[in-house]
Amino acid sequence: MHAIYDELGGSDGVRTAVTVMYHRIVADPELAPWFEGVDTERLKSHQRAFLAAAFGGPQVFTGRSVGEAHADMRITDAAFDRVVQSLMTALADLGVANEAVLTVGARLEDMRGDIVTA
Ligand code: HEM
């Protein structure tokens, strides 16, 4: 995944990209039912977990497994798709090579079975 870090201009670039993408997720009316009322610290924690899952690197999860964290949320396949698409679109917009974007998508795709319960 180092290639993606480099393409985005290192860790600052990655952080900026993910922050932009994450604001889009939180502002997406179709995803609002899940993110409404979640406090800022939790959102930041979620963003870091999402980033670690997408790009690899240190696991910053707070102790709960990803499956446990989403167990009661009834997340749909469509919502999962939108979240993953947001990140892939943001990366593509920033000029990340298509192959690297697809690699990130595949890493997140591996988690679908743990997260989608609806
Ligand atoms: C695709 C990869 C995803 C990863 C790696 C991920 C990771 C995580 C983790 C680790 C937590 C627990 C955070 C904590 O305990 O502080 C969490 C919570 C949460 N996730 Fe995800 N998530 C993903 C996708 C999604 C999707 C698709 C949705 C909704 C459509 C979603 C909505 C939430 C919400 C609402 C919380 C709860 C925040 C709270 O504790 O109040 N996540 N996620």
pLDDT in the model for residue 60: 53
pLDDT in the model for residue 61: 55
pLDDT in the model for residue 39: 87
Q: What is the mean pLDDT of each run of 10 residues along the chain (118 residues)?
A: 65 74 86 88 77 65 78 96 89 84 88 95
Ligand 1: nearest atom to the Cα of 43: 38
| Domain range enclosing 99 | 2-115
Ligand 1 centroid–CA 98 distance in Å is 26
pLDDT in the model for residue 66: 84
pLDDT in the model for residue 100: 84
Compute the distance between CA of residue 38 and CA of residue 102 in angstroms, rounded to an integer: 29
In short, whether 52's Cβ falls inside 6 Å of ligand 1 is: no
Total tally of structural domains belonging to the chain: 1
Ligand 1 centroid–CA 35 distance in Å is 9
CATH code at position 7 = 1.10.490.10
Ligand 1: nearest atom to the Cα of 31: 30
